[in-house]
Amino acid sequence: MIDYSRGDDGIVTLTLDDPAQSANTMNETYVAAMSAAVDRLYAEREQVTGVIVTSAKKTFFAGGDLPSMARATTGDAPALFTLLSRIKQDFRRLETYGRPVVAAVNGAALGGGLEVALACHHRIALDRPSTRLGFPEVTLGLLPGAGGVTRTVRMLGLAPALTTWLLSGRRLRPADALAHGLVDALAATPAELLAQAREWIRANPGAAQPWDRDGYRLPGGLPAAHLPAFPATLRQQLKGASLPAPEAILATAVEGAQVDFATAQVIETRHLITLLTGQIAKNMIGALFFDMRAVNGGLARPSVEVSEPRRVAVLGAGMMGAGIAQACARAGLEVVVKDVTPQLAARAAGPGITTTADVAALTGCDVVIEAVFEDPELKRQVFAEVLPVLAPDALLASNTSTLPITGLATGVERPGDFIGMHFFSPVAKMPLLEIVVGAQTSDAAVARAFDLGRLIGKTPIVVNDGRGFFTSRVIGTFLDEAIGMLAEGVPAPSIEHAALQAGYPTGPLALADEVSLTLAQRIAASAPVRLPSHDVIDAMVDRHDRPGRSAGRGFYTYESAKSLWEGLAGMATPEGRAVPLADLKDRFLFVEALDARRCLAEGVLRTAEDGNVGSILGIGYPAWTGGVLRFADQHEDFAGRARELAARYGTRFEPA
């Protein structure tokens, strides 16, 4: 896996190149190869003047061996400790070799890949758009356990290491990594990358890590003076949720900063093994690595060959239409945005985007994405207007969040080409695309929509038609549960805090304001069953004129600082009762999990992987669960707990 080559100048180049994989990972092959390479370096030390570590792949190093990590149990802890100690020992031998060692980072270096680079004395990154450096471990329920925490803290100091790198999970561009201290220089070409590495080796024959030099002091000082602030800040960032990985990263950083390097390495290893053998890391790796890889790899894409999109028409230049147009233009597609007037269309103007009010400007477009107001008749009208000028086989897509696709396709000349492409707001930030298949949608249309989604950088899940599809339907149960709690007499702050402590990114009442209570009222009007939440929504909109965030008043007031409206206490029924915090949190998690299971049973969800990924990326289901369906599967007694909730709060919690 590691090619060892020594030049006439005595510089050894170690080239990482796993023959069995498209990317280098910290697997058994790597571990054996690195040990052998370091052994040879020591054996030939007198002939070596320096070392360059680089890669033959498009990326530098992809990180840890996640499939192996996901299988770890508590019984594997001793073997894991031995393995991690060996990896760290080789890194330590490399950085104390007594010769300058340079990482020539020729592509992405994430997680374990960045840890390889940190074990070198100098890091030069190839400055290309695809290159990213960072520690995404926290997003998988893990911590950088091959020296990442120990070295980053010693290099940068406690606060910068935690906030910029370890707790954020950010993947930084080379220039940003340079600005934030983990990269020392940039190179424009691969040749320049290696030339710079050789030049630095010649100029720094006595290179050593900062912490191995006499007089080293931790940047920013020891953590004692600032220690009380760190857990408080982390708790604020987590919004009250208790998540093992961020807490373990903080503990590893703080504890390791107060002891010698070797002891800090042991502390780091022990914390990582605790995470690796726990359920939450397995949940997160399952969803955000395995399920994500399956979804993006086309698990739900029909196996048909289709043409690539070239020219996209977007109907409607509002926030969603403009976001969709910009995403398509950034992917190199030709984009035309149409609205009723040139002035309205101009709202979507940008590089690669033509704006117009003239239907003729859409001539020949092979994809049309409608993003107008959620009115079925209006949507049918705009399709009827543009169909005559489009390419004869153009993909016809509607960006609706709730309206059934089969109904919208009624009256369209080519219902087989009609499909739902539900983007999430804001389009530039939200990674999910929900592709909705109508009763007559063809496999070719599904494949074309999927390919377009991947082309513009989205993760596309494929679901069948139905009221609210998957994401809007399931998040509706979350909002109904929260608003129903108000009717029961649960204090509004308790509702919001319970959701945040369960791991949701925002409180449900705040989310309802963002969605708009007017829209919620319209959706409730067509619901098959009248719920207590619907009465509260009607009262908020009709009696109190509080339609949501866009109007500046909803469950929250927005006049100065955002705060819950004091009138919410009057929404409760007279016989209101206290509800334990554990029940509040479980009601949110279970009501969505139960409905997701119904979606899978009814065929709305085609795959469990789509449900797990869609729930995390699209509707904020807590990532620590591994997704809405995995939460149910891995719960120690899902059916029993569901029946408890049903007995206390209603039959909606009865497990199927």
Q: Specify the CATH number for the domain of residue 622.
A: 1.10.1040.50
Tens-digit pLDDT profile for residues 280-289:
999 999 999 9
Asked if residue 613 lies in contact with residue 289, where contact means CB atoms within 8 angstroms, the answer is no
pLDDT of residue 575: 66
H or E element that contains 433 = strand 432-437
**Which residues of the chain have a pLDDT value below 70?**
225, 574-576
d(CA 216, CA 301): 56
Task: Output the six-digit token pair for 245.
Answer: 């990985």
d(CA 549, CA 112): 43
Q: Is residue 284 part of a domain?
A: no
**Which of 277, 297, 320 marks a domain boundary?**
277
**Claim to verify: residue 84 and residue 104 sit in the same structural domain:** yes
pLDDT of residue 241: 85
H or E element that contains 315 = strand 311-315
The three-class DSSP label of residue 248 is helix
**Claim to verify: residue 156 and residue 40 sit in the same structural domain:** yes
Q: Is residue 288 part of a domain?
A: no
Active-site residue flag, 137:
yes
**Claim to verify: residue 258 and residue 396 sit in the same structural domain:** no
pLDDT of residue 571: 81
Q: Give the start-end residues of each E strand in 465-500.
A: none
**Claim to verify: residue 11 and residue 124 sit in the same structural domain:** yes
Using CA of residue 626, residue 511, residue 492, residue 479, what is the dihedral sign?
Answer: negative
Which listed residue (28, 46, 95, 137) is catalytic? 137
Task: Output the six-digit token pair for 305.
Answer: 């060959």
Which residues are CB-neighbours of 387 under 8 A, at least 6 positions away? 396, 412, 413
> What proportions of the chain, in percent to the nearest 5, are helix, strand and coil?
50, 15, 35
pLDDT of residue 223: 81
Q: Is residue 343 part of a domain?
A: yes
Nearest in space to 284 (alpha carbons), one of 143, 458, 433, 138? 138
pLDDT of residue 236: 84
Q: Is residue 303 part of a domain?
A: no
Nearest in space to 304 (alpha carbons), one of 205, 438, 445? 445
**Claim to verify: residue 173 and residue 191 sit in the same structural domain:** yes
DSSP labels, 73-135? -GGGHHHHHHHHHHHHHHHHHHHTSSS-EEEEE-S-EETHHHHHHHTSSEEEEE--TT--EE-
**Claim to verify: residue 340 and residue 395 sit in the same structural domain:** yes
Strand 2-6, strand 25-26: pairing: unpaired
Asked if residue 369 lies in contact with residue 337, where contact means CB atoms within 8 angstroms, the answer is no
Asked if residue 178 lies in contact with residue 185, where contact means CB atoms within 8 angstroms, the answer is yes
d(CA 65, CA 67): 6
Asked if residue 434 lies in contact with residue 463, where contact means CB atoms within 8 angstroms, the answer is yes
Q: Is residue 639 part of a domain?
A: yes
Total domains, the chain = 3
Which listed residue (44, 95, 115, 308) is catalytic? 115
What phi, psi does 453 have (nearest 5°)? -60, -45
Active-site residue flag, 115:
yes
Tens-digit pLDDT profile for residues 389-441:
999 999 999 999 888 999 999 878 899 999 999 999 999 999 999 999 999 99
**Claim to verify: residue 84 and residue 223 sit in the same structural domain:** yes
**Claim to verify: residue 348 and residue 496 sit in the same structural domain:** no
Q: Is residue 300 part of a domain?
A: no
Q: Is residue 160 part of a domain?
A: yes
Provide the CATH number for the domain around residue 457: 3.40.50.720
**Claim to verify: residue 422 and residue 512 sit in the same structural domain:** no
Q: Is residue 158 part of a domain?
A: yes
**Which of 439, 465, 491 marks a domain boundary?**
465
**Which of 445, 465, 485 marks a domain boundary?**
465
**Claim to verify: residue 46 and residue 155 sit in the same structural domain:** yes
Provide the CATH number for the domain around residue 194: 3.90.226.10
Nearest in space to 284 (alpha carbons), one of 618, 633, 635, 613? 613
Give me the domain span that covers residue 29. Answer: 2-206+218-277
**Claim to verify: residue 78 and residue 104 sit in the same structural domain:** yes
Asked if residue 136 lies in contact with residue 169, where contact means CB atoms within 8 angstroms, the answer is yes
**Claim to verify: residue 364 and residue 411 sit in the same structural domain:** yes
